[in-house]
Amino acid sequence: MEKDVKKLLLFAFLLRIAVAPFSAHLWDMAMIQESLYLTLQGESVYSYVYEKSVKLQNATGLPLFFEGYAYPPHLTCFLFPFYLLYLSLGGDPRPIKIESNAALSLVPEEGFVASLDVFLFLAIIKLPLLLADLIIVYLLSRRSVEIATVYAFSPYALIISAAWGMFDGLVGLFLLLALILAERGMPFLSGFSFGLSMVKPYSLFALPPFLFYFYRHNIGALAKFSLGFLAGQLPTFAPLLLSPQEFLYTSFLFHGLRNPSGMTPLRALVVAEDSHLASALLSAYSVLFLFSYLLLLFLMFRRGTNLPEGVLVTMSFFLGFNKVIHEQYFLSLFPLLLLYHQKRARTMELLYLTYTILNSALYLLTLPLLFVMDYEVLSLKYEATHYGLGALAMGALVPTVFFAFSVINVLMNLKTIMEFLSGEMVCEKSRAL
């Protein structure tokens, strides 16, 4: 068994490291790069993003946000040692350069210039994301080698972590560890791991189940979990104290006020002719969303929902009903859902994989295209977009298809929630892990 797991880990790593240097969402990786470069210079990435947002709003008169580094500082802490390793090998500190004011990584974005060092940069900077995937594979193998194999060779997980360079796998890893540590009677370490899961703030949706779980045990366990959670948030205190306005605006207000996007039916409101009506509907939806979430927590607490179920239900609520549901978000729930409902997890994986390919494949292919094709050839994409069938696809067909995906996503997450609340689906403890 151990030999099989070692082989599985080796092949999973080789597959990912073969992909990592040659593919990336250039805009996202450029913003991660900027956070590391600014940290090296002793500057604040939050001030950088905030100033660009203010300039964008002053120039357009619209409540727009510059889509830069919009997360707590944990990711920079994880990646910075690897950035120093990259620099020690003689790498260009900024191998991805954006020389225009564009805020979108569309092919062919003429503002992008990449040095050859970008391949080494991506291989090294993505290592923590690849290692997170391997740790998840190992933890899953403690329950089932079959389940671990599904995750190890999941094309969805491969695309998000190794190809894209997005780090939702870290959220998934720390949520899984927090759950395991809680069930092993280690509340402080569980809280610490949960605090680290806030590498993306949306993991907060899963906090109440942990609080309920430890509250039911005793106040001492709840206090230890809370202290661990605060310890996991230590990186947040520096920007919160030094530049609170820029930090809160960039990391939290941005997520709360941004327009609907991704796999949510609400994105249809963005194209509404009456912007005031759309804004009013979004405001009403936000109130309904909060009320529904609180009602869900009440029902879970009253029913005595156990911890794994609570995490699955609250994260499914986020994935189904948040106004921003990007294709990478599901990776945070994928490992846990595989443990307790493999069939549902595989169906959701297929849904998110298909959406990712349709929505983002072009972005992920940008990197090699920059080195093998010139911009005049790539500019043919614009003609296909704005004329003939391209205009039809972009104007009607694509939004319709994406809307259908979003409806399916809502229904599948709603089904997961209802099955847990009704008792049709039950989670056993994860002690085998």
Q: Would you state the pLDDT for residue 252? A: 84
Q: Would you state the pLDDT for residue 101? A: 52
374 confidence band (pLDDT: 50, 70, 90)? low
Phi then psi for 114, rounded to 5 degrees?
Answer: -125, 130
pLDDT in tens, 93-148: 999 887 655 444 334 444 667 888 999 999 999 999 999 999 999 999 999 999 99
pLDDT in tens, 138-178: 999 999 999 999 999 999 999 999 999 999 999 999 999 99
Contact between residue 125 and residue 86 where contact means Cβ atoms under 8 Å apart: yes
Q: How far apart are CA 129 and CA 376, in angstroms?
A: 35
Contact between residue 158 and residue 358 where contact means Cβ atoms under 8 Å apart: no
Q: Would you state the pLDDT for residue 428? A: 61
Higher pLDDT, 270 or 19: 19
Q: Average model confidence (pLDDT) for the chain? A: 87
Task: Provide the whole-model pTM.
Answer: 0.91
Quote the tokens at residue 310. 């609570």
Q: Would you state the pLDDT for residue 108? A: 42
Place of tokens 């540590």: 181
Q: How far apart are CA 238 and CA 73, in angstroms?
A: 9
Q: Would you state the pLDDT for residue 432? A: 46
Q: Would you state the pLDDT for residue 272? A: 55
Contact between residue 225 and residue 215 where contact means Cβ atoms under 8 Å apart: no
Report which of 238, 25, 195 is spatially closest to residue 125, judged by C-alpha positions: 25
State yes or no: pLDDT of 375 exceeds 90: no
Q: How far apart are CA 25 and CA 61, in angstroms?
A: 29
> Which of 84-93, 99-108, 191-200, 388-397 is predicted with the least confidence, judged by mean pLDDT?
99-108
Say which residues have a Cβ less than 8 Å from residue 206's Cβ, sequence separation at least 6. Answer: 175, 194, 197, 310, 311, 314, 315
Counted residue by residue, the chain has a size of: 433
Q: Could you tell me the CA-to-CA distances from 297 to 85, 232, 417 in Å, in that order?
A: 44, 24, 12
Q: How far apart are CA 144 and CA 148, in angstroms?
A: 6
Neighbours of 412 (CB within 10 A): 17
- Identify the burial level of 143 via C-beta atoms within 10 angstroms of its C-beta, where 0-12 means exposed, 13-18 middle and 19 or more buried: middle
Q: Would you state the pLDDT for residue 396? A: 62
- Domain boundaries defined on the chain: 2-422
What residues pair up with 324 in beta bridges, in sequence order?
A: 261
